[in-house]
Amino acid sequence: MFYREAGDFKTSYEADSQTFPIAFDRYRYWAVLAIAFLVIPFVINDYWVNAIFVPFLIYAIAAIGLNILTGYCGQVSLGTGGFMAVGAYACYKLMTGFPDVSIVIHIILAGGITAAVGAAFGLPSLRIKGFYLAVATLAAQFFLVWLFNKVSWFYNYSASGQINAPERFVAGVAVTGPNTAPWAQYMICLVFLTVCALLARNLTRGTIGRSWMAIRDMDIAAEIIGVNPLKAKLTAFAVSSFFIGISGALFFAVYLGAVEVGEAFGIQKSFLVLFMIIIGGLGSIFGSFAGAAFLVVLPVALKVIGVDWLDWPTDLVAHLQLVIVGALIMFFLIKEPHGLAQLWRVTKEKLRLWPFPY
Amino acid sequence: MSADFLYGIEVIINGLMAGVLYALVALGFVLIFKASGIFNYAQGVMALFAALTLVGVMEGQVPFSHLINAVFGTEIHHFGWEVPALLAILLTLCIMIAFAWAVQYFVFRHLVGQEPIILFMATIGLAYFLEGVGDLMWGSDIKTLALGLPQGGSMAVEEWTAGLGGDDFYGFFIDKLDMVATVVALLLVAGLVGFAQYTKQGRAMRAVADDHQAALSVGISLNFIWVLVWSLAGLVALVAGVMWGAKSGVQFSLSLIALKALPVLMLGGFTSIPGAIVGGLIIGVGEKLFEYTIGAPFLGGATENWFAYMLALIFLVFRPQGLFGERIIERV
Amino acid sequence: MKMKTLAAMALAGALATGPAMAELVMPDLSYRTGPYAAGGTPFSDGYQDYLNLLNARDGGIGGESIRIVECETGYNTEKGVECYESTKGEGALIYQPLSTGITYQLIPKATADGIPIHTMGYGRTSAANGEVFNWVFNYPANYWDAASVAINYLLDENGGDLNGKKIALVYHNSAYGKEPIRTLEELSSMHGFELSQLAVDHPGQEQKSQWLQIRRERPDYVLMWGWGVMNQVAVQEAANINFPMENFIGNWWAGAEHDVTPAGAAANGYKSLNMNRVQDYPVLEEIKTLVHDAGNAAGDGSNIGKVLYVRGMYAAMLAAEAIAKAQDIHGTAAVTPAMVRDGMEALEITNARMTELGMEGIGPEFSVSCQNHGGAGQGLVQQWNAADGVWEPLTDFIAPDASVIAPLIAEDSAAFAAESGITPGCL
């Protein structure tokens, strides 16, 4: 009834090729944006920002990045943690090296540096495929973490080996450092996420996105019809790393404020982001959001239910949390192997016919 | 002979031994991947779970005691008996077989024919699940494995070889536990190969590995075979868990040994049992030798983790399917 | 995005609990799960048991009852942040982050929020300079003190001369493990011993290369900065190469029962530093009767008297004393975090007071001031007796070499002050 394309006539090419062709989708999209930009910043507090929103927004950026590589181009990567570390350390070096330049530019540059590193580590993908590639990207993960730990230039020779984000401002409002208002933290992440998501959505709809998907579906066939695998794979690595670098920079500068590479960007992070896109749905921007939300909110929700409501010992809750998260992952995969995004797609199909299904 | 050279040989010998330990973990991955195409991320956690269960059974711990105590307000911890090692091992194996059956029945039976990455994800879910269950069942403290495995450097070897070099050479160091592990690994591989070659079930297993549909059409039960390989992987996990657990005590970190097995798998190929062994040896020797010659003197040490992956990566560039992996044939 | 809003509604009720100001809220960021659970559990048990004892015996501190809010971090920084944010709204008085990563995280946050942090023998070493780190306290000792205490002990063993001796440092290849290097390098040029550094990568299950190197180089002493599975493996490997265990000294996070028991009898004689003496204290009896027998034990009650349990209890005692001091200074029982900070800065621990509390000689005597948040910096050396399964204190509290450490602390804290734009000064 509400969700249908019937009667939604397009009268120009622009209208026909817009991002959300169905009217309801469009309204929903604007509604979500309006709530995210105009309502949430005014009602959130420290806890909501630090425990849920900021990690969700940042992980969503990382998940979009990895989804471009894994979901759209079919190259499984376990180097996400390492690439996030590149973004974080690049951002730190830029922040301390050029304190007068805006942090926004630093974060974008950090993304660019990560893109270059990612493309370099993407080179073996021309030869190695599937799980072999996944394990090969672990080389990047371990090497980068070791490097940032070993070479003290990266952490400005500080005695502790940790990097701390100094205070930086955007339009006179602090966005990093301890005195950041919760809404400012939230807003900078939200702006980056919105831009990244729009960029990703449109990239994947265009020529380059189609060449990625051709490579994913069958690289030999794609090569035969004229897709350059070198270009497609390396751009996928570069674009994906760009997003991951931005998320790493935000993760360090805005969310945590201080990191140590092995702890914050270890192998666990690589797996976590991979879980997000598989649970959310490979090859779907919405899936990246859904997966990030699922894995950020679920543990917190389980903790709140177990510890605060049921008053169980914290260690029991933590163990049960593992059991439940694991069981839910398996349950979802059995029920819907293509992730939450597919569930959403199915719902939309149903909505189209509602209330008169045939 | 100069001491540096002799020590180099010592590093190689110890690298080989370490490689055997890596191969032990990698074997479990290979068994499952070959028969069902599942890249089993949970193998490391299975090793932890098997070792925890073994200790728990031996000490007569009450499973889930912490949970029971919290829910019912009781104070139970132990049954008050101790189970002899052999019996405990058998009991643990039974539990691992039950686990294999449960995994097949509740999870992978429903996921037949899915893409590899989905199966991989399911094993990650399994890893979380098993980690939580292991902790709930047996608690999260460090446990000591009292199997009486020999530990420490072999004095016989040390004295026997001390004469090879000058005064600054103290003889070769070889850990007795590593020797035991090597023998056990050899027996295990021989047993697995024998099983696969000469028994009916083993042949059926190989048939399934070759072609699911052909195997199905000659009347082999896929479900049975998959339960079988998961059980075998459980056995391998138990052995790996015992060998690694003897060094460090049985604790959470045992699950991280999976990361040591991944470069071995890449190098040897996901589908080859000899590949796992040879890959393990190459990785073991490679990383130790690199640390000895370049890593520790010039790069500040702790290079082993990433170098193992780099080494495997270099091999892969020349042979993308690993040393012994099945040739990847792609058709349009 | 939809998911988020749905979840937000589902969670909203959980946070509706208002702060209850009538009691003393003590958060306990524990880790009873994950790779370091074996170390986190006894510490947390000790911390909670002591506070529960105060509740049961004295009705809290100064007549105000204590409410413990436990939050599981799993030694994970992100969960630590979540824990901090969720507990701070309840009026938390003092944080013990119990992880170097979480500490670094909380230093700027807690400073901005005005809540004191106590990092006992871990965290940021230069926080000993209270003029830069107004809200952070790391008494009674820090890592650089530990390095110096270990060398002073060895000096003592060798008649005051370490010239030409070889000392190897086996360290966890992380920020934590690298902490003592600067200090040891300074001390090495001062006392003329040769220092070699062996890094062990996380998690540290495979240390063959490092111990073969030690076997080749035959250092006179091995120091270790280890944590987690690295400790157990290192002790085992040291025994394997027949390294004399009495020359192998771990720091205070590598000297608990669970670090040595997996190696069995082979670990006998292994030494470690400690900042709290482990022995039979009268207070442990009180905990048994008043807390455990009443069914209020944190955890399963099996950890009582262990090294890390006693350390947790010691931490709780220092926190309780600081709160009592704060109540004293400000003349009110219902203290705020800022008042507790004043109490911590005026804290004075004397032998008489420790005896009175039933824990004679548990720690060194020290006093805190605005300039010095680091306490006395003393530590003792203990040795593992495998036959009886106990850690036996070998020495009394040994003082570190302040002439080496003070300049290092001044330098590092000045760098932090410059980086973060802090003007040093007292509150």
pLDDT digits (tens, 9 = 90+) for A35-66: 999 999 999 888 999 999 999 999 999 999 99
Query: What per-residue confidence (pLDDT) applies to C22?
Result: 65
Distance from CA of C38 to the nearest CA of B (A): 5
Q: How confident is the model at residue A222 (pLDDT cuts 50, 70, 90)?
A: very high
Q: Is C316 helix (H, G, I), strand (E, B) or coil?
A: helix
Decide if pLDDT at A286 tops 70.
yes
Query: What per-residue confidence (pLDDT) applies to A18?
Result: 81
Decide if pLDDT at C3 tops 70.
no
Cis peptide before C203 (omega within 30 of 0): yes
Residues with Cβ within 8 Å of C375's Cβ and at least 6 positions away in sequence, in order, are: C138, C139, C140, C141, C364, C366, C367, C368
In a domain, A18, yes or no: no
Judged by a CB distance cut-off of 8 A, whether residue A64 touches chain B is no
Q: How confident is the model at residue C10 (pLDDT cuts 50, 70, 90)?
A: very low
> What is the per-residue pLDDT across B141-162, written as a single tens digit (0 to 9) for each?
888 888 888 888 888 888 888 8
Q: Are C100 and A260 in contact (CB under 8 A)?
A: yes
> What is the per-residue pLDDT across B184-202, written as a single tens digit (0 to 9) for each?
998 998 999 899 889 999 9
Query: What per-residue confidence (pLDDT) applies to A161?
Result: 80
10 Å CB burial of residue A296 (0-12, 13-18, 19+) is: buried
Decide if pLDDT at B93 tops 90.
yes
Q: For A93-102, B16-25, B140-149, which range has the lowest pLDDT when averaged over its residues? A: B140-149
> What is the per-residue pLDDT across A166-199, written as a single tens digit (0 to 9) for each?
888 998 899 988 888 999 999 999 999 999 999 9
Q: Do B302 and C239 touch (CB under 8 A)?
A: no
Distance of CA A218 to the CA centre of its chain: 25
Q: Measured between alpha carbons, how far is A198 from C142 in angstroms, rounded to an integer?
A: 49
Chain B stretch 126-155, residues whose beta carbon is closer than 8 A to a beta carbon of chain A: 126-133, 135-136, 140
Q: Measured between alpha carbons, how far is C138 from C98 in angstroms, rounded to an integer?
A: 12
Judged by a CB distance cut-off of 8 A, whether residue B16 touches chain A is no
Q: Measured between alpha carbons, how far is C37 from C256 in angstroms, rounded to an integer?
A: 13
Judged by a CB distance cut-off of 8 A, whether residue B149 touches chain C is no
Q: Could you tell me how many CB contacts below 8 A there are between chain A and chain B? A: 141
Q: Measured between alpha carbons, how far is C378 from C372 in angstroms, rounded to an integer?
A: 14
∠ Cα C329 C333 C334 (to 5°):
110
Chain A residues closer than 8 Å to C41 by CB = 315
Q: Do C236 and B248 touch (CB under 8 A)?
A: yes
Decide if pLDDT at C337 tops 80.
yes
Query: What per-residue confidence (pLDDT) applies to C49?
Result: 95
Q: Measured between alpha carbons, how far is A216 from B280 in angstroms, rounded to an integer?
A: 31
CB nearest A318 (choices: C72, C84, C100): C72
Decide if pLDDT at B284 tops 80.
yes
Q: How confident is the model at residue C100 (pLDDT cuts 50, 70, 90)?
A: confident
Q: How confident is the model at residue C21 (pLDDT cuts 50, 70, 90)?
A: very low
Q: Are C294 and C56 in contact (CB under 8 A)?
A: yes
Q: How confident is the model at residue A135 (pLDDT cuts 50, 70, 90)?
A: confident
- Taking the domains of chain B in order of start, what are their residue ranges? 3-255
Q: At A8, phi and psi to the nearest 5?
A: -100, 80
Q: Is B142 helix (H, G, I), strand (E, B) or coil?
A: coil
Q: Do C213 and B247 touch (CB under 8 A)?
A: no
Q: Is C198 helix (H, G, I), strand (E, B) or coil?
A: strand
Q: Which residues of C sit within 8 Å Cβ distance of B? A: 32-35, 37-38, 41, 173, 197-201, 203, 205-206, 208-210, 212-213, 215-216, 228-229, 232-233, 236-237, 239-242, 258, 261-264, 266, 300
> What is the per-residue pLDDT across C295-307, written as a single tens digit (0 to 9) for each?
888 888 889 999 9
Chains in contact with B, where contact means 3 or more Cβ–Cβ distances below 8 Å, are A, C
Q: At C28, phi and psi to the nearest 5?
A: -125, 100
Between strands C221-225 and C271-274, the pairing is unpaired
Chain B residues closer than 8 Å to C266 by CB = 151-152
Q: For A142-151, C13-22, C70-79, which range has the lowest pLDDT when averaged over its residues? A: C13-22
Residue A259's DSSP bridge partners are: A163
Query: What per-residue confidence (pLDDT) applies to A296?
Result: 93
In a domain, A206, yes or no: yes
Q: Do B128 and A325 touch (CB under 8 A)?
A: yes
Locate tokens 């979480």: which residue? C102
Query: What per-residue confidence (pLDDT) applies to B279?
Result: 93
CB nearest A158 (choices: C74, C81, C415): C415
Query: What per-residue confidence (pLDDT) applies to B1?
Result: 63
Please state, in angstroms and as integers, the Cα–Cα distance from residue B328 to each residue in A222, A223, B240, C227, following that order. Answer: 18, 17, 30, 43
Q: Are A145 and A129 in contact (CB under 8 A)?
A: no
Chain B residues closer than 8 Å to C41 by CB = 140-141
pTM of the model: 0.92
Chain C residues closer than 8 Å to A47 by CB = 15, 85-86, 89
Residues with Cβ within 8 Å of C368's Cβ and at least 6 positions away in sequence, in order, are: C130, C137, C139, C344, C345, C346, C347, C348, C375
> What is the distance in angstroms between the CA of the first residue and the CA of the last residue of chain C?
44
Chain B residues closer than 8 Å to A271 by CB = 124
Q: Which one of C32, C75, C209 makes the best mutation probe of the B interface by having the most chain B beta carbons within 10 Å?
A: C209
A129 lies in which domain range? Answer: 44-266
Q: Does domain C143-274 have CATH number 3.30.428.10?
A: no
Average pLDDT of the segment spanning A354-358: 75
Rg (CA), chain C: 21
Judged by a CB distance cut-off of 8 A, whether residue B2 touches chain C is no
Q: Does domain C21-141+278-377+407-420 have CATH number 3.40.50.150?
A: no
CB nearest C35 (choices: B253, B257, B260): B253
CB-based burial, B105-126: b 16+ in 10 Å, e otherwise: eebbeebeebeebbbbbbbbbb
Cis peptide before C140 (omega within 30 of 0): yes
Mark residue B119 as left, alpha or beta (left: phi above 0; alpha: psi -120 to 50; beta: remaining): alpha
The answer to whether the complex's ipTM is over 0.85 is: yes
Q: Do B310 and A271 touch (CB under 8 A)?
A: no
Number of folded domains that form chain A? 1
Q: Which two tokens stand for residue C179?
A: 């902490």
Cis peptide before C424 (omega within 30 of 0): no
Judged by a CB distance cut-off of 8 A, whether residue B74 touches chain C is no
CB nearest C420 (choices: A46, A166, A315): A166
